[in-house]
Amino acid sequence: MFRPLEDRLAALTHRRHCVVTGRGASAIWLTLEAFKDARPDRTRVVLPVTLCTSPAAVTHHAGLVPVFCDTDPASGNLCPAALERLLETRRDVLCVLAAHLYGEPADMVRIAEICTRFDVFLIEDAAQSLGAGGVGQHGDVTILSFGHTKIIDAGGGGAALTCDAGLDARLRETEFRLGPKPREAARWAADYRTTYYGAQTEWDGNPAAKRRVGEICKLHPGLYLHRLDEAQAGLILTALDALPAEVDRRRERAKAYDEAFRGIGRPLQRSPDGVPWRYGLMLPPAHRDAAVEALRAAGIDASCWYPRLAPFFGDEGDFPGGEAIEAGVVNLWVDDRADDARIAHSAALVRDVLTGAGTNGIKSQDSGT
């Protein structure tokens, strides 16, 4: 079952080799293990400051240290200029991970050129962008994920893809040593969620609460590192048949959101090659939480991903792009629940919040207030 899936994913991303894993995080860990064997004198991994916690967690579990880089507030993706400034000041960087966040392709041409110039490995994290144009064209390794909320949600699964036969052999050898998903994984995941959402209620007034999240990420390597099971492999393989239609539906729903939210807030950057993971909208920070509360009270799913990753792991540095995303972003679902009526209702609710505040969310967001 694994070989047909690996061949299919390799063809989809125009990579020659694919190793499937239990999670996208497992695939990142395999890659880091291979990279550090090649350059044991380098111990730092550059991560975008706007990202989920899993890449930083597996960086720790690989015995490496995350270094955070600012993101572009227009898209949430890694900022090439910030990356260049960071690499100019360090000689201990092993690799850079650049994610296509929210399904929007990062500027991989520029990022790849910078990584080549500074002689560091590059990981393309396509966990949220399966089906997007250009995935697999840049970087030493491309990462895919099929876990919760992904474009294909099989409840788990990931992949590391490369065009380097030697690197593929190292990835495959390390993956072979991974065990199955631990029985305790569900409990560990529940503990993580309890810790995360508990800390979230405190961190506006107590920023140190974020560190509890980083600490629990370090406790259970088995939550992140395990092999794919055959049942999930079958689900992924079957779901790939419907991927083109799913990508088209997501793009159409994002266009419907654009129309419904015209004059309300500012949509995150979205290009024709992207595949919307969720619809991203930037609102004035002073009114974002009220808008999210209004949506949820009406039974409409809304999230505020992602808070800056750095404070979870003890880095209180200045990341203005990441801070802007954390303070203003709202993510709205683009799956089958997002019909025309729900999209229109979402826009009306947010408009009512902003109208009551005397703003449409455009001028305020652009001026940074």
Q: What pLDDT, in 10s, does the model give residues 340-359?
A: 999 999 999 999 999 886 66
Q: Report the percentage of the chain scoring pLDDT > 70.
A: 96
Residue with tokens 């961190």: 203
Chain segment 51-94, per-residue pLDDT in tens: 999 999 999 999 999 999 999 999 999 999 999 999 999 999 99
For the segment 144-165, the average pLDDT, to the nearest whole number, is: 98
| Backbone angles phi and psi of 349, in degrees to 5 | -65, -45
Question: In this predicted structure, what is the pLDDT of residue 356?
Answer: 85
When pLDDT is cut at 50, 70 and 90, the band that residue 367 belongs to is: very low
- The answer to whether 129 and 135 are in contact (CB under 8 A) is yes
Radius of gyration (Cα) for the chain, nearest Å? Answer: 20
Mean pLDDT of the chain, nearest integer: 96
Average pLDDT over residues 173-191: 97
Is the bond preceding 306 in cis, omega lying within 30 degrees of 0? yes
pLDDT digits (tens, 9 = 90+) for 11-54: 999 999 999 999 999 999 999 999 999 999 999 999 999 999 99
Instruction: Supply the DSSP string of 253-302, one letter for each residue.
Output: HHHHHHHHTTTSSEEPP--TT---SSEEEE--HHHHHHHHHHHHHTT--E
Q: What percent of the chain has pLDDT over 90?
A: 95
The answer to whether 75 touches 98, Cβ cutoff 8 Å, is no
Question: How much is the average pLDDT of 224-236?
Answer: 97
**pLDDT tens string 106-128:** 999 999 999 999 999 999 999 99
- Structural domains in the chain, CATH included, are 2-233 (3.40.640.10), 244-366 (3.90.1150.10)
Instruction: Give the integer Cα–Cα distance in Å for 261 and 206.
Output: 34
The rounded distance, in Å, linking the Cα atoms of 17 and 239 is 20
Q: How far apart are CA 360 and CA 165, in angstroms?
A: 53
Q: Please check the confidence at residue 363 and state whether its pLDDT lies above 50.
A: no
pLDDT at site 364: 39
pLDDT tens digit sequence for 250-298: 999 999 999 999 999 999 999 999 999 999 999 999 999 999 999 999 9
pLDDT of residue 358: 63
